[in-house]
Structures are given as structure tokens and as C-alpha cells.
Amino acid sequence: MTTQSFPLVSPEALEESDLGLQQLFQSFLPTSANPFQRNYFSGLFQPTFQQYLGQLGSQVRQGQDPTLTFTNFLTNQFNPGRALLRMSGAESGRTAGPTLFNYFQ
């Protein structure tokens, strides 16, 4: 049986393609997330990337070279734990369900 080796890819190389950016984002997510959390995290890539682009725009507007990388942005600005705190009950699977609803009618 032969094993296939994969070349090591630097974060800089990942930042050169859309798929690489998404893979880079996924690498910052907790591996212990439950299915509801994984589903929630999958929807966070685009807003997180938009925040990153906003930071780059701020650098340009201030007359600086846009040197912020997506890796540095995720390292310093993205907090998956904080993102989970913003997750609603319906997204987390922790809703009261119909029994509680019927009780208060």
C-alpha cells in the first residue's frame, strides 16, 4: 500500500484563490463544533471576508499600503467563540419547541 503525500501549502498560497481563502477560514474554526454550529460557521465566511476587505479599505483610505493578510485578520480579529454567542436559539437547535408554545396560549 502506498501513501500519497501532499505538499505543504503556505497560508500565502491559500490567499491566492477563493477556495484557498475558504479553506484558510475553515482552519480557524473549532473542530469540536456540533452539526448546528458547523452549519452556522459555514455562513460566516462571507461576512468575515467582507470585514477583512473593509479593514483593507481602511488602510488604503489612511494612505497606507494594504498589507493586512486574511491570515493576520483571522488571527487578530476573528473569534469563533464570540460568533457562537451571537448564534440564535433556532440556529443552535436549542429552541423551546411546541410544548412551551402551547403552554402559554
Per-residue pLDDT of the chain (105 residues), as tens digits, is: 555 655 666 777 888 888 888 888 888 888 888 888 888 888 889 999 999 999 999 999 999 999 999 999 999 998 887 777 776 554 445 544 555 455 455
Q: Output the CA torsion 53→56→61→62 (10° steps).
A: 150
pTM of the model: 0.69
| Interhelix angle 18-27/70-77, nearest 10 degrees | 30
Q: How many CB atoms lie within 10 A of CB 28?
A: 15
